Amino acid sequence: MPNIIIVGAQWGDEGKGKIVDFLTETSDVVARSQGGNNAGHTVVNNDTKYVLHLVPSGILWEDKQCVIGNGVVIDPIGLVQEIETLEGQGVKISPENLTISERAHITLPAHRSLDAAREAGLGQKKIGTTGRGIGPTYADKALRTGLRMAHLRDPDTFREKARVRTEEANEVLKGVGLEEVDFDATFPEFEKAAKRLVTHLGDTAVKLHTAIKGGKSVLFEGSQGTYLDIDHGTYPFVTSSNTTAGGACTGSGVSPRVIDCVVGVAKAYTTRVGGGPFITEDAEFSAKLHALGLEFGATTGRARRCGWLDLVLLRYATIVNGFDEIALTILDGLDDMESIQVCVAYEFDGNTITTPPSTMEEWARCKPVYETLPGWLSDTTGIRKFSDLPENARAYLDKVTEATDVPVTLVGVGPDREQTLRRD
């Protein structure tokens, strides 16, 4: 049974949740290995919509095991709320099917305040974060001042460490004139949520290792996307973890040697939420998609910025992740387009470049070089067989393969579970 890494190939929200849900049927364990509740993964099944933030999308399949790995950052209040919402939708969650790494780092209320403070300080140049405290939690991890889930087993030590960290954060907040965190007022709610999670804790690296040794297959559910990766993304307009394929191994404790396949999930066009460069952004195209009710964020509800498919980004994402296959989602979003543009290169200071630059200053000097392809002007949402896709739609998929040298094996023609087509 293959162990598969699912990676976002663009700036997140590519439809990873839907693809993970689709592939969970043939997997045993689904693991998250980076990010936190900045993620919002939507799965639609029989007209019921589930939005997952920290809980792996595999939880929607009753007989599957789910793991939140060491590389994830966890806001206990957010996670407990999410579990309760899912339980309210009839999803069963217990220590039997959800194991949380005792090494995962904890997001405190102070981290959220620091996130807001940093954004406020940046003014017009703000990153446009999700406000979930992700950057400050990972910063504490790197500074070696963070708190791990295992600390929750010793409430007195945990409380003391959380108090010290909150006092330090308050110094920063005071310095920039922002409201300080009232530790005594906020801690009880936080502690109550944290206690609810203790029974889920375990050594998830050992759990995954044992599962794989026993012949079980693991699906790694990436969050965010390649261009939000702290190393390979459009820095500093990125998130604070490694969202690329390697992050699945470091964030789970699973060896790269047991990975069989990496699937890149890309939209048939491009979107991004928050600030930062976006070469193929197109206001008219954005307006069209928003009018169709598409492209509003699952976590913050923000309207996503939209633009044409950027093959420069997709090609580079293939390099840094090693995609074996590409899942192309929301092909139906292009159903009404008479003609479709794809960006095949960038013009940079009078030259043509085919890989992304590394600084904001260089990004600002890039312009898209487009090729125009004919649309298919037909409704694909009712199609259930890959070979029934219109000829021009298939030519569009071929263009992606031509640019990346990777086959498009899955195509999305709607949000529902049954609207994912596998190449036949």
**Where does this chain bind ligand GDP (CB under 6 A)?**
8, 12-18, 40-42, 44, 298, 329-330, 332-333, 412-415, 419
Q: What backbone phi and psi angles, to 5 degrees, belong to 255?
A: -65, 140
Q: How many residues bind ligand IMO (CB under 6 A)?
A: 24
Contact call for residue 15 and ligand IMO (CB under 6 A): no
Contact call for residue 330 and ligand IMO (CB under 6 A): no
How is residue 66 annotated by DSSP? E
Q: Which does 274 bind (CB under 5 to 8 A by kind): Mg ion, ligand IMO, ligand GDP, none?
A: ligand IMO
Those residues whose C-beta lies under 8 Å from the C-beta of residue 358, and which sit 6 or more positions away, are 235
Contact call for residue 12 and ligand IMO (CB under 6 A): yes
Residue identified by tokens 């939880």 is 59
Name which of 96, 106, 120 is nearest 162 in CA terms.
Answer: 106
Please state, in angstroms and rounded to a whole number, the distance separating the CA atoms of residues 402 and 311.
Answer: 10
Give the shortest CB-111-to-ligand IMO separation in angstroms. 11
200 a catalytic residue? no
Which residues 185-204 are close enough to bind ligand IMO by CB under 6 A? none
Residue among 39, 106, 312, 327 that touches ligand IMO (CB under 6 A): 39
Which residues 274-313 are close enough to bind ligand IMO by CB under 6 A? 274, 298
Please state, in angstroms and rounded to a whole number, the distance separating the CA atoms of residues 365 and 346.
Answer: 9
Q: Which does 270 bind (CB under 5 to 8 A by kind): ligand IMO, Mg ion, ligand GDP, none?
A: none
Which stretches does DSSP call E strand in 33-143? 41-45, 48-52, 65-68, 73-74, 98-101, 105-106
Please state, in angstroms and rounded to a whole number, the distance separating the CA atoms of residues 174 and 372.
Answer: 54
Q: Nearer Cβ to ligand GDP, position 201 or 411?
A: 411
Q: Which part of the chain contacts ligand IMO (CB under 6 A), choosing from 104-112, 126-134, 186-194, 358-366?
A: 126-134
Using Cβ positions, the residue closest to ligand IMO within the complex turns out to be 274
Give the shortest CB-16-to-ligand IMO separation in angstroms. 6
Give the shortest CB-15-to-Mg ion separation in angstroms. 8
332 a catalytic residue? no
Give the shortest CB-172-to-ligand GDP separation in angstroms. 31
Q: Nearer Cβ to ligand IMO, position 78 or 135?
A: 135
Please state, in angstroms and rounded to a whole number, the distance separating the CA atoms of residues 108 and 182.
Answer: 12
- What DSSP line would sit under 214-280, residue for residue? TT--EEEE--S-GGGSTTTSSTTSS-SS--SHHHHHHTTT--GGG--EEEEEEESSEEE-SSS--TT
Which stretches does DSSP call E strand in 56-213? 65-68, 73-74, 98-101, 105-106, 201-202
Q: Choosing from 28, 41, 115, 335, which is the catalytic residue? A: 41
Please state, in angstroms and rounded to a whole number, the distance separating the CA atoms of residues 205 and 400.
Answer: 36
Residue among 59, 273, 383, 397 that touches ligand IMO (CB under 6 A): 273
Angle (nearest 5°) at CA 107 between 106 and 112: 170
Residue among 117, 134, 326, 342 that touches ligand IMO (CB under 6 A): 134
Residue among 24, 37, 223, 329 that touches ligand IMO (CB under 6 A): 223
| 395 three-class SS | helix
Q: Nearer Cβ to ligand GDP, position 135 or 264?
A: 264
Q: Which part of the chain contacts ligand IMO (CB under 6 A), choosing from 88-96, 209-217, 222-230, 410-418?
A: 222-230
Contact call for residue 132 and ligand IMO (CB under 6 A): yes
Please state, in angstroms and rounded to a whole number, the distance separating the CA atoms of residues 293 and 137.
Answer: 34
Q: What backbone phi and psi angles, to 5 degrees, belong to 346?
A: -115, 145
Contact call for residue 41 and ligand IMO (CB under 6 A): yes
Q: Choosing from 13, 140, 229, 282, which is the catalytic residue? A: 13
Please state, in angstroms and rounded to a whole number, the distance separating the CA atoms of residues 112 and 173.
Answer: 11
**Neighbouring-strand partners of residue 68:** 32, 100
Q: Nearer Cβ to ligand GDP, position 212 or 331?
A: 331
Q: Nearer Cβ to ligand GDP, position 42 or 392?
A: 42
Residue-wise burial string across 350-373, b where 16 or more C-beta atoms lie within 10 A, e elsewhere: eeeeeebbeeeeebeebebbeeeb
Give the shortest CB-352-to-ligand GDP separation in angstroms. 31
The residues of the shown chain that bind ligand IMO, judged by CB under 6 A, are 8, 11-13, 38-41, 127-130, 132, 134-135, 223-225, 228, 239-240, 273-274, 298
Catalytic residues: 13, 41
